[in-house]
């Protein structure tokens, strides 16, 4: 720095010298520079102040490149471009701005975009607003997972899409204490595996079954598809009633109970957990037994397919003493906190 300051002092002094004296000094300096170039190493290590001085002189007068000898002219030009880039990088440095959103919000945006491959930026932004998360829509577009990185719909989700519009029905036989046969009719909704309706009779005719379908689905609650087997009891009157209600009748193939697996599983649960352990005296008695079991099945019994929850969602109780309420004479119990 001292040498550069001394150089500027010499420049001020040279302004008061004659042109002939300055030309003579320039010739002497050039000759000295030629002598030093012959003995100096090929690569010189210049300080940042020396480079800054060369750049300043180049900006003042670009023609000085012809007089530069200790370094190449293109080197001075490269130093100038580097300084230009550094200046604008410093000029464009961030000065605060919008605060960063939290990690929980970013994870939530990525989760929404990953779990919903059909959702775009406006949909995710609207859902966040409903959750009380106030972020800009541009932030959502930057944070969300691109469509290329989202999973497509799986076969499992594809098959579960119409499950809310499907119901299945079936009949099973229960012997009484007098060795008579009673027929129990069950209606199962596939959405939450809920037992929607049951009825008991000694003679299941097509007219009786049609009336049970009407009572099971009043008004506009009828499903779109109804799965059943090919029992002769589902005759013309039943088919006409189902068609009039706007339900698409889907009978299974002959000797293929696996095609109505949900209803068959329900009948197996009723047998194992209820009718195999009790003796029905008559149709009225069996109806009362099935009514109690339906309440237990829908509101108490946990299902593995529902994530250990009941078809009618059962709340979690965390406080209080645990008490047991017997169901079906103590065959099952409901545990609750009071």
Report pLDDT digits (tens) over 280-311.
999 999 999 999 999 999 999 998 888 889 99
Report pLDDT digits (tens) over 176-195.
999 999 999 999 999 899 99
Give the model's confidence band at 68: pLDDT under 50 very low, under 70 low, under 90 confident, else very high.
low
Distances (CA, A) of 69 to 73, 78, 270: 8, 16, 102
**pLDDT, position 237:** 95
pTM of the model: 0.60
Looking at the fold, whether 230 and 320 belong to one and the same domain comes out as yes
Q: Which residues contact 40 (CB under 8 A, 6 or more apart)?
A: 70
DSSP labels for 243-306? HHTT-EEEEPPTT-GGGGHHHHHHHHHHHHHTGGG--B-SHHHHHHHHHHHHHHHHHT--BGGG
Looking at the fold, whether 84 and 116 belong to one and the same domain comes out as no
Q: Is residue 294 part of a domain?
A: yes
Q: Is residue 95 part of a domain?
A: no
What is the domain range of residue 229?
A: 161-337
Domain stops at, among 89, 113, 142: 89
Number of domains in the chain: 3
Q: Is residue 38 part of a domain?
A: yes
């Amino acid at each position: 720095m001292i040498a550069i300051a001394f150089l500027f002092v010499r420049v001020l002094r040279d302004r008061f010298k004659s042109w002939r004296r300055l030309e003579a000094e320039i010739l002497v300096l050039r000759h000295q520079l030629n002598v030093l170039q012959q003995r100096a190493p090929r690569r010189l290590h210049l300080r940042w102040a020396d480079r800054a001085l060369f750049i300043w002189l180049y900006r003042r007068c670009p023609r000085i490149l012809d007089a530069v000898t200790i370094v190449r002219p293109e080197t001075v030009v490269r130093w100038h471009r580097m300084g230009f880039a550094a200046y604008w990088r410093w000029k464009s440095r961030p000065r605060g701005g919008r605060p960063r959103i939290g990690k929980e919000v970013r994870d939530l945006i990525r989760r929404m975009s990953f779990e919903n491959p059909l959702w775009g930026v406006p949909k995710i932004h609207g859902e966040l607003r409903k959750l009380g998360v106030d972020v800009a829509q541009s932030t959502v577009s930057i944070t969300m997972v691109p469509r290329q990185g989202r999973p497509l719909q799986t076969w499992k989700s594809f098959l579960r899409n119409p499950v809310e519009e499907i119901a299945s029905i079936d009949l099973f036989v229960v012997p009484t204490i007098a060795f008579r046969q009673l027929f129990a009719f069950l209606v199962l909704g596939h959405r939450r595996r809920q037992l929607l309706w049951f009825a008991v009779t000694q003679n299941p005719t097509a007219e009786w079954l049609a009336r049970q379908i009407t009572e099971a689905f009043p008004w506009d609650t009828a499903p779109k598809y109804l799965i059943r087997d090919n029992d002769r009891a589902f005759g013309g009157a039943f088919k006409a009633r189902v068609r009039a209600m706007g339900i698409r009748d889907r009978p299974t193939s002959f000797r293929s109970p696996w095609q109505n697996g949900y209803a068959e599983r329900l009948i197996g649960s009723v047998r194992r957990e209820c009718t195999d352990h009790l003796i029905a005296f008559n149709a009225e008695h069996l109806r009362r037994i099935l009514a109690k079991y339906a309440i237990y099945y829908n509101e108490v019994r946990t299902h593995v397919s529902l994530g250990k929850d009941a078809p009618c969602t059962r709340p979690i109780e965390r406080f209080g003493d645990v008490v047991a309420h017997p169901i079906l004479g103590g065959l099952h119990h409901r545990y609750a906190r009071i």
